Amino acid sequence: MITTAAPEFAANFPNGGRLAGLDVGTKTIGVATCDVNWSFATPDKTIKRTKFSADFDVLKTVLAAHSIVGLVVGLPLNMDGTDSPRTQSTRAFARNLAPLGLPLLLWDERWSTAAVERAMIAADVSRAKRAARVDSAAAAFILQGAIDALTR
């Protein structure tokens, strides 16, 4: 099941459970996870993209290690809310995750990477460390936004 509706997604988890957030880029996939009560999201890792089958295997291993029950995938909409080529690519990526058998929520990610970069700059994180951490931190930003909406 792939949805953009938070209530429909939440209905799959009457007892909570750990969720993973994904920031899908052209070169990397940022991964974040949250606790079973959906209180806080934590950056986990960044997967360097290669072929989809290899990316899928790495992602499947990460999700299994954390006992993930659902996915939140950042959807890169245009500023006016319309789809872009990147949006279509992300939707295709989400459809290709169907063999995982996990409910999937597509979540508006506009400004997520920019917000994370600004916060890292404000915290005086070096450019090299920002580059290594920005994707998983953006995934955590996306996931936190979704779990905040899911718990309201």
Using a pLDDT cut of 70, give the percent of the chain over it. Answer: 89
pLDDT at 24: 92
Decide: 89 and 73 in contact? Cβ < 8 Å. Answer: no
The mean per-residue pLDDT over the stretch 49-68 comes to 93
Report strand pairing: 68-75 vs 28-34: unpaired
The reported pTM is 0.86
pLDDT at 1: 87
pLDDT at 109: 82
Tens digits of residue pLDDT in 78-133: 778 788 888 899 999 999 999 999 999 999 887 676 666 777 677 767 776 656 67
Sign of CA dihedral 33, 34, 35, 36: negative
